[in-house]
Structure 1
Amino acid sequence: MLRAGENAGLPADGEGGALRREAFPFGPLEAGEVLVEPILGSWEANIEHALARSPIDICRSRGEQAVVVGNLGVVRVLKSNAIRPGTELREGDLCLLMPIGKSDPYGYAELAYGYDAPHTIGLMAKRSKIDERLLLPIPSDTAYSLEQWATYGRYFTAWDNWHRALGCWRTQIPDDDPGNHLVFGWGGGVAFAELLLARRAGFRVAMTAGSDERLAFLRDNGIVPVDRRKFPDLSLPTRRGAPDPEVHRRHRASRAGFLELVDELSEGKGVAIFVDNIGEPLYGATVPALARQGVITTCGWKAGMRLTNLRGAECISRHIHVHTHVWRLQDSPEIRDFQESSGWIAPAGSTVVYDFDRIPDLADDYAQGRIGSYFPLYRVNPV
């Protein structure tokens, strides 16, 4: 758990040091709640944000002294107090947790379960209780492993973001062949899942990675790999302190090399849809890489939330900026069924799993970029 008032900044012993292993009491099942046993949790950027208490301190935001985090993963039903007509959650059922702690009238998430939604108990606990509406059963005859299903959060998020971005792009390019256009993504599990959808739609696809392992993984899955290490100074230099001419010179050289590569991959058109879930450090390369009538689409903010646009240039280029968060709750069964029927799911063997006692190590390894997989998981209870 994460406790209020502790490690207000980054803890000296790493982000994992913000976690405390303690008993977490909760009351009996209320009407509409289900007692569950978490099996596998997926490590997400929002957990890193919670441990770093940035951009918000979730304990303070929720007004709670202790918070159990972890809002995406596989759980086993132990006892159901379901009240919805037609609900068929039975003891032993394996389900996916939909991380929508509070939604708007249209089903879109406003607060995330196990993050900033008050009174929600995340998956880093041996037992938890969850609103029945948020549990989506895994098909009983599924062809895929629980480890593969536990990665669903990146895929469900990618599904929603991709369909919004594609719809926006088609408002301006209604009938041209997608094969004439490039979809590009900065590295990450959501971007990987999104580019697989783009490839299915007929687009050319390319994505950055910073290790031989990940470059090979992209290539094996039909995505053109772009070695991020060839552009070592691509991130925008910090604005703090006096500008260093040499730092800016190296940045300009890396950006010029990257844009030259984009020009080659897109036959001079630029990127039709750019999946950018990084934010400020790479935004100075994202925008000039974009084609006319191009779309920048994002569903996260891994490294910088505040962006500056030259509004006139964006208008003249007819760029569309798409921002999404999580997905609509009522779309969940459709996305699950598409995953099952199409095989659009994490490739077998692509996950890495940490035992429950090693969750602090997972936190540190993730923060330091020591995990080669796009799909880090933690095991809470045995299958």
Structure 2
Amino acid sequence: MEPILGSWEANMDHALTRSPIDVCSSRGEDAVVLGNLGVVRVLKVHAGSRNVRVREGDLCLLLPFGKLDRFDYAELAYAYDCPHTIGLLARRSKMDVRLLLPIPDGTAYSLPRWAAYGRYFTAWDNWSKAYGCWRTQVADDGPANHLVFGWGGGVAFAELMLAKQAGFRVAMAAGSDERVAFLRDNGITPVDRRRFPDLSLPTRQERSDRERHQRRRKSVEAFLNVVKDLSDGYGVAVFVDNIGEPLYDVTLSALAREGVVATCGWKAGMRLSHLRGAESIARHIHVNTHVWRLPDSPRIRDFMETDGWMAPEGSSVIYDFNQVPDLADDYANGKIGSYFPMYRVNPL
């Protein structure tokens, strides 16, 4: 196969920084070719392949499954921590046909919109689990009375679009004029992150740095007041938090009773701590998911096609293959306004 468009993901940034793991060391390999989400063209199918569902010339989505558990969830991710897997940052490659999912024939949507599918497949799985958990405790009240809030990137955006479709109030933090406008244009209430400049200040040295602690507390209080206004004073029903440690205490403080924290990423810190008793008394449910279930892939693809639930037209930014180092630097330094950064490997 030959890659056409690849989606730049947080896992690629993690690999380059060798944190939270060194994937080369973990795989026992000197070098790793990254890129586990994107659109590829099938060039040739091995004559001995069985149950082949793709044809030469097909445009397909790469499914990022390396090692599966007994229920078909990913234990190791393709082109990340799974040994002997080659990602999309190569002009041509070979892969197991079971990892290729054809784009529907005659699709109404452009290739860049499809190339963002990884964030949407992940969001579909995380939202379905989070919403199901929320409903186990709030069985009768209508979603219109409840707020779903997110901070993160494209996955959080995709989840909020599902929440909006389900009838929830939806809001999301954004840190630039471009993203604030993007959220508003898509029916999500934007909360300008710049209004709370000290929200992410470290909390561990509060006693030795009183001034910093006061600054952070002021930002936290201001943010929580916004949440109260948006939720009629009750707090967030489902909080999509794919940031992690710097904002985790704020997430929990903003959460309503019987609320759900939904996590499927850890952009800025994996180690979290909370008061277990307080979380129990408030009946908070913590939902942690990773990737999605392989057999669900065709169903999610078909839902995207029929409902148009995918990256809005023109919302992606595409770097050429020789600009991938620039893309990596821009992503790491927060210089990309789009939630859907991509790289082009071969022409369509």
Match of residue 371 from structure 1: 336
5 Å-filtered alignment, 1:121-200, equals: 121-200=86-165
Match of 2:294 among 302, 326, 329: 329
1:315 to 268, 280, 287: 280
* Cα distance change of structure 1 residues 350 and 278 upon mapping to structure 2, 3 Å threshold: same
- Counterpart Cα distance in 2 of 1:308 and 1:196: 29
Give the letter aligned to residue 312 of structure 1.
Answer: G
Alignment match, 2:324: 359
1:284 deviation in Å? 1.5
Amino acid at match of 1:60: S
State whether structure 2 residue 172 is matched by structure 1 residue 207: yes
For 2:208 and 2:169, locate their aligned partners in 1 and report how far apart those are by CA, in whole Å.
Answer: 38
User: Judging changes above 3 Å, is the alpha-carbon distance between structure 1 residues 82 and 46 closer, same or farther for their aligned structure 2 residues?
Assistant: farther
Deviation at 1:83, TM superposition (A): 5.3
In structure 1, the partner of 2:204 is 239
Q: Which amino acid aligns with 2:56?
A: E
Partner Cα distance (1:254, 1:238) in 2? 13
2:57 corresponds in structure 1 to 92
Query: In the TM superposition, what is the alpha-carbon distance from 1:100 to its structure 2 partner?
Result: 0.7
Q: In structure 2, the residue corresponding to 1:300 is in which secondary structure?
A: coil
Please say if residues 236 and 284 of structure 1, whose CA atoms lie closer than 8 Å, have aligned partners that are also in contact: no
TM-score, with structure 1 as normaliser: 0.89
Distance 2:47 2:35 in 1: 23
Q: Residue type of the partner of 2:290?
A: H
* Mapped contact 1:71–1:99 kept (Cα < 8 A): yes
Quickly say closer, same or farther: Cα 1:238–1:312, change in 2 above 3 A.
closer
Q: Give structure 2 stretches of 5+ with no counterpart.
A: none
Give distance in 2, aligned partners of 1:152 and 1:281.
Answer: 28
Is the partner of 1:353 in helix, strand or coil?
Answer: strand
User: Post-superposition shift, 1:128?
Assistant: 1.0
- Structure 2 partner of 1:222: 187
* Pairing of 1:270-281 with structure 2 (within 5 A): 270-281=235-246
Select the residue among 4, 8, 24 that pairs with 1:59.
24
- Could you tell me which amino acid in structure 2 is paired with residue 78 of structure 1? L
Contact in 1 for aligned 2:201/2:212 (Cα 8 Å): no
What residue identity is the alignment partner of 2:239? F
- Which residue number in structure 1 is paired with residue 3 of structure 2? 38
| Unaligned 5+ runs, structure 1 | 1-35
1:151 counterpart letter in structure 2: A
Equivalent in 21, 34, 37 of residue 69 of structure 1: 34
Q: Pick one of 13, 21, 25 that aligns with 1:48.
A: 13
Q: Which amino acid aligns with 1:245?
A: R
How far has the Cα of 1:105 moved from its partner?
1.0
Preserved contact between residue 124 and residue 159 of structure 2 (Cα < 8 Å): yes
Which whole-Å CA distance do the structure 2 matches of 1:315 and 1:126 have between them? Answer: 51
Give the corresponding residue for 2:257.
292
Name the TM-score, length of structure 2 as normaliser.
Answer: 0.98
Cα distance in 1 between the residues matched to 2:291 and 2:160: 17
| Structure 1: distance between partners of 2:45 and 2:323 | 30
CA distance in 1 between partners of 2:288 and 2:186 (Å): 26
Distance, in Å, in 2 between the alignment partners of 1:231 and 1:267 is: 21
Alignment partners' CA distance in 1, 2:109 and 2:282: 44
For 1:243 and 1:70, how far apart are their aligned partners in 2? Answer: 43
Between the aligned partners of 1:257 and 1:299, the Cα distance in structure 2 is 27
- Could you tell me whether the CA contact under 8 Å between 2:146 and 2:231 is conserved in 1? yes
For 1:261, give the aligned amino acid: V
The number of equivalent residue pairs is 348
8 A Cα contact 1:99 1:134, kept in partner: yes
Q: Distance in 2 between matches of 1:51 and 1:175?
A: 46
Look up the equivalent residue of 2:231 and give its one-letter code.
S
Residue 86 of structure 1 deviates from its aligned partner by: 3.9
Q: What's the secondary structure of 2:34's corresponding residue?
A: coil
Is 1:102 equivalent to 2:67 in the alignment?
Answer: yes
Q: Partner of 1:284: helix, strand, or coil?
A: helix
* Identity of matched residues, %: 73
Could you tell me which of 284, 296, 303 is aligned with 1:338? 303
RMSD: 1.2
**Segment of structure 1 superposing worse, 146-155 or 232-241:** 232-241
- Aligned residue identity for 1:55: P
Which digits, 9 at most, give the CA deviation of each residue in 1:313-366, with x for residues without a partner?
101000000000000000000000000000001011000000000000000000
Whether 1:305 aligns to 2:278 is: no
AA in 2 matched with 1:136 = L
1:84, 1:255 → 2: CA distance?
57
Kindly indicate whether the alpha-carbon contact (under 8 Å) linking 2:143 and 2:167 is maintained by their aligned counterparts in 1. yes
